[in-house]
Each structure stands twice: as C-alpha cells, then as structure tokens.
Chain A
Amino acid sequence: MVNLTIDGKKYQAEEGQNVLEVALENGIEIPHLCYHENLSPYGGCRLCLVEVTRNGRAFLTTSCTYPCLDGIIVKTDTPEVLRARRLVLELLMPLAPEAPQLQALARQMEIEEPRFKTDEEADDCIRCGLCVRACTELVGAQAITFSGRGYRKTVEPPFGEEALDCIGCGTCVFLCPTGCIQMVDKSAERTIARWQRTLPLKACSSCGRYYIPFAQIEFARQKSREAPAEDWFDLCPDCR
C-alpha cells in the first residue's frame, strides 16, 4: 500500500494503481476520454491532466498513466490544470463537433464558442485508441491498428483495406466515445463500414433474429479452452 494526497486529502492505494483509478474510486471527478478500466492506459487524449508534486517538484501529467507513488501530492483542480484541460478539449472538439460526450464536457468546462474551425476531413475520430486497445486486449482479434503520425494518424485495418481479422463483435463500436464507428445489421448481414467489413449473421433458432456473426462464433470456439456446447450459439441470449 502507498499513501498519497489528492486535493488535500490522504488516500491509500495499491501498488500499481494509477492516480485516475484511485481518484474515481473515491468519487473525485477527473474528465477522461481514452481511459477505460479494463484496458491498459494510453495517455493520449490528455484530458485527465492533474498536477503532481513529487520530490518537491510540481508538474502536469496525465493521471491515467501516472502511478500512485508513496508521498506524491496530486491536485486535480488548480487553475493551470483546468486551463490545460479546457484547451485540450478545445483542440479536440473540431475533430468530432457533434459527439454528445464532447459536448457535455464542453458545457462542464464552459466552452461556448469553439475557436478552431472544424477540419474538412474531420471524421469524428479523436484518436483515443480505445477501439485499438479493445480489439487487441479484450477481444484478441487485433483487427485494427494506428497508422500514420501527426495529424494524419488514423485507426485503420492493416493496409487500409478490409479488416480481415474483424469478427464483427462490435466491442469497438460500444466503446467509441464519439460514435464514429457505425455498425449496421441488415437482415442476415452485419456491416462495420469504418473497417470495410461485412459479415453474415447467424439466426436464433427460436426467435429467428439474426444475432451474431458466424466469424465471432468461430473465433470464440478457437479462443476458449472449454468449447461451449455444439448448440450453444443456436439460441440468442434472450432465448437461451
């Protein structure tokens, strides 16, 4: 266990926990977009900035990547911290101006008029990398990666072509904070346009609803050590 101070109050944390985790557990609000408790921290969006003082030196850093170290003093709401977060959000807004999650944050931070014009090529992706990490760390399919650098950095399937390893599970769709990954089920097919992937769906033998891509069933069978019973996927979760 390590002892640290957040906003003047003492807390105990486990070795290896990051500052954001401990703050959230204790009801201290820190905005964050690229962090998810089930994924490795990335530290890309920079919204979770806090001021840390360690060995007498104070600096801004991202709470999602900063480890709880014994004796550090964390401040989550200094004027500098708030100013930095505000500017970061202002820089992010034009990438996904319509995204409700960003708009809510903007209201919280009292950003009224965005000072940067929306990019023509804005595609609602804020490069938080949740989809990449989810696909790699949670699903294990590794169907998409970051490519390019600087403002040209994007998330893509390999070579920018159809994501051949995508099993259509939709985890990325679910986690994306801006809704920029769309998944459409149309009768027996599921399409994730962003990954240029269309997959056939299996129907539930009871209610007839098309509910899961065959590719996902195949993937699940290969991945899990104790294969589910042969007929497990015949029924959708609702009918099971």
Chain B
Amino acid sequence: MAINVATVQEVESTDSVVSSRFGWLRAFRRPLTLTGVIIVAIFCVLAIIGPFIAPYDPSSVSKATLQPPSPEHWLGTTQTGQDILSQMLYGTQVSMIVGVLAAVFATVLSVVVGLAAGYLGGISDEILSLLANIFLVIPALPLTVILAAYLPKTGSFGIILVISITGWAWGARVLRAQTLSLRKRDFVEAARATGERTTSIIFRDIFPNQVAVIAASFLGTVTGAILTQASLAFLGLTNVTEWSWGTILYWAQVSSALLTGSWWWFVPAGAAIALLGTGLSLVNFGIDEFINPRLRQAGIGTRKAQRAQVRPTRLKAPRRSRREARASVSGGRTGDVILQINGLEVDYVGEGSTTKAVNDVTLTLRRGEVLGIAGESGSGKSTLAHAITRLHKPPAWISAGEMLYQRDDGTVVDILTMGDEELRRFRWEELAIVFQSAMHALNPILSIGKQIEDAITAHRPSMSASERAARVLELLDLVGIQTDRAGAYPHELSGGMRQRAMIAVGLALDPEIIVMDEPTTALDVVIQRQIVEKIIELKDRLGFSVIFITHDLSLLIEMSDTIAVMYAGRVVELADAKEFYRNPRHPYSRGLLGSFPTLSGPKRELAGIPGSPPDLRHPPSGCAFNPRCPLAFDRCTVVVPPLFALSGEAEWRQAEAACLLYEGGGTVPDRASVHETDERLIEEAR
C-alpha cells in the first residue's frame, strides 16, 4: 500500500494523456505485470475451490501431531494434528474474501467522497478533505485494534467493516486530486471544444484515467486489508476458530511453534500473504506506468538507448580521424565555423516502432551568427536542440552523425565522442542552452543566485566565494534583474524575470554558443520583445553564436542571420534570413511564410498549409511533404530530395532547398501561381 504513494501522487501534476480507451490493456503485456496478474488469478481460483479440494477438515485433530511436510500432509500438521494444507486452503478463502470485500467497501467510500469533493468543490470539498486527512493521519492499526476489540464476536463481517472504515481516506484524497485536475485537463477541454458530447467525454477521456486510479487504489487496499486482517487475527482479535492465514499464524504463535522449530506451521501462511501482496503490487506497477507515462518510458527501449548514451562512440557512421574532420570544417566555406553538424540522426526507440525525429541533418554555425530554426510542432526542433547538447534521454538516441566543434585555438572535437568528464567541462563553458519554459527549467527549491553560482563553482573551482557572488550580481544586472533578487526563488519571480534569469544562467561562463529552444514562447508579446532585444544586445556585446528555435517565423526572420526550416525531422530549406524572407524556395517554406504575419511590413493573409504533419513512425515515401504539397508530382513519392544549392544572394550562406523541383537546376513556378494553387486546393477541400 505504501508502495504506490509517490506515483499516484504524481498523477496530480503530470499531464498524462491517454491515447485510447483500451490503452491500459497494453500494460498487461509487460512480463512483470503479467506475472502479477497470474499470481493474483491463481489465488482467486484457490479462494473459490480451496474448501473443495482440501484433503482434510482443517479443524479435525489427529494423532499425527507436529509432523513436518510429508506425502500425507503436504504442509505438515499442527500441535493437535490438524492438516496445515487444509487450513491454508480454507484460509485463502476467508483472507481473500475479507481483503476483497473490505477493499470494495473502502473503494466505494473513497470514490463517493473523492468524486463528491472534487466535483462539488467549495465548503463540501473542505469538509470532506479535512475528514479524509484526519483519517489519514490517525494511525490505522491501533484504531482498528480498538474497533475490533469492541466487536469481538462479529467475525469476518465486523473486521471487513472496521478495515473499510479505516482504509478509505488515501483513495479519496487521490481521487479528489485526480478529479480536480481532470476537470482542467487540456484533452478534456479539447474534446469539449471540438463539440463532443459530454457523456462521450466522460466515458472516453475521463473514465479510463479514473478507472486506472481507482483500480490502483483498490488493489492497494486489498493488500492492506489482507495484511490488516492477518495482523488482527494474529493478535487474536478475530474469531480464532475461523480459518484464515492470520488465524493459522495466531495458533502457531500461541502454541510456540517457533520454539519447537515447526517452521512449516507458520511459513506457508506468511509466504502466501507476501506472494499475493507481490502479485497485487506488480499489477499496480503496470497501472502506475499506464497513469504515469514517464515511468513507462523508463522501461521502453531503454536498454538500447541507454547503452547508446553511455557509449556514444558506437555510431553507425564511419569515424573519421580528427585531421580529416578538421579539414571538413574549414574546407571551402567562408567565415569562422564554430559548429558543424553532419548527417545527424536521432531516433526514438519505441515498443516495436522507431521514430526518426531528426533525419540526416547537416548544419553549420559560424561565430557570431544567429541561426534560426523554424518548423511546425513535432518537426524535431527540440530533439535537435537536445541532441546538440547531448541532453537527449532514452528512448532517444543518436544513431548516426557527427557534431564537430571548433575551439578558439582551432582544434576540432566531435561532441558525440566526448567522454563523460570532457563533456561535463565542455558544457556551459562552451555551449549553453536556454529552455522554453523557465518555470520548468529552474530548480524550484534553489534560489536563482545559487543556480547561477553552481555553474560557476563546477567549472571554475579556483574562484573564491566572493568573486562568484560578484559574478552572479554582474550577470543579473546584465539581463536586467535587480541584484537584490539573487536570493529569490523561481516561484517568486514573474515569467519575464524567470526567463531573464535563465539567460543569466546561460551566460554565466561566457559560452561560445547558446542554444535557445523557444525561449520566449510562454511570454506575452511585450515581454517577448524585451527579451529578444536583450539577447541580440548581449550577443553583439559578448559575441556568442545563437541557435534560436521558435514557432514564430516573423520573429525569427527579424533576429536571425540564417534560417533553417525543418519538416518531419529534415532540414528542407537553408538560407540567409533576408533571402529567405524575400524568396522562400521550398513549397513548405512558402506555406509557412504565407501563414505568418510579420511584425513589420504589411500583414499577410493567413493562407495556412492544408493537412497535418506526417506521423514520423510511418513517414510517407519520398518527400515527406508530398501529401500536403500543392506542387507534388509523381517523382515526389519515390525520391527523397536532398538539399539542392540554389542561386540568389548570399551573405552568410548560399540558399539550399530539399525539393525535387530544383533537381538539375530547375526552378519553381513563381510565388503568385503557388498561391493560386493553394487557394484552388482550399476551394476544393471545401
């Protein structure tokens, strides 16, 4: 029962989305869960048929006293010659009935109280929650003992009542929290917004989650009830002439079975309780993993991905020597390349299927450049950002590619082949990252000053405490936070200030590169502007390079030097920001640009792109964009287009696009006609 405390609690905070109504059935495929189900099933069967297959009357005495296990008495006999196997078989029935019935009553009680408190809210919620909390704090066993002692003659039914009265509170509390958070869940809102009927929302979206939680709490209570019954029986507080596992232990104890060394008397009953409890817990793990997807992921595809993470050198791509690598960095390109990503691939290893979230990505970042990465949700931007910093976690793993970093002194290293310690030193000192949500990216229990400081402590051990403190204040000042807020905790800051704090953390060690994954998405437009301006100002002053990821194409065009557009894990267009804005080449980029109004300049009509992004587990053959491309032709479903170099102006780099229309120096119909095609398609769709 104590086992699922932490995880069931977790339900209150994660946004676990249940994909299908019978998704939970999948949980039973895990071997551990299946073992649990089998154990529980066997005990259920024994509980039903036990008394019929028992070889003896469990209470009838015989002359064969204190016999160890033998062919006549498989589990031996008691001091009075009773057959222990028969007692066990009868006992299974009583123990299981008490456990299950008590759990049923307790669960009904907790469902009623929990749902009522969650749905009614207000004063009824206050009172019911208080009641549940009181029952939770009052130690159950002594209370149960007293209650049971007052009802000595009532037998099992009294025990069932007593256990349910003391055992409902936890389930009620969890269900209340669950109900409250479910009411606010995105997917429930979404279902409502799409006009689904309330009943179908309840049955399709709310119910499965609730059922899982109720089931977990029910199984936990069964375990608890069986244990409590056994404890009470062992203390002699139940009807000791009724055979249950606990009564067997009671008689063993009062007859000093221990002193006579008759282990067979007490071992089977305890083992049965432990085994059944284990079975129930294992089933509960399955349910837990269903409720909490993060737990599930810890088990899926983990071996492979984990190994890949531990030994990043084992890549499919052939390793090159460092000199060769260096040559490819400086080879032919203009400017001072700081990061060169070649053929990077990142997979999510799932149960049975593999998602290629980053597919053959080759990118170049120069010193002082702002490289903007755009793309729809799910196009692999964050996966790429995490891979660059090697922060990807199982089930993600890098299956191919290299990431060459050129140090100030001209030496080149592949980030993917760094050992643990080398990587640790490299991180933050050279490459920092700013996450989308500062709320989640700042440790809630450390002050922001501490979180800046510990990066410094880790990398500059020789710095004195006062120097570090001074640096912290300097950084806060740099990003525009009053220096007296250094001791503030993240929850005490506004959203904008938190994001500034994040940037201050990022700048702590003067990194060469900062990767920013949607650093401003969660903020309102005014704050967003301030932050972006701050970043540009700091970049100009400190001279770092930025990889900037966002949905906001107009923002990106304004602040970036070059832009990479991602679609279905691939870079489909790469160009100078100005050139890209003036003349987007890839049909997808054109759709994107059509769908984003710019801050400066005339507002564009939101043309949008019909259709939705592909399922990366089963990407379309050929060009991944072909199902949505207004210009698609036959070859598009056959050939995966590589990046084709394009003509046109180039300050930072020559534009490239991955579209078969540019194959062999071809061109695309001009913009107006593309738009016409789009509009015609939309017309047809109507």
Do A and B form a real pair?
A: no
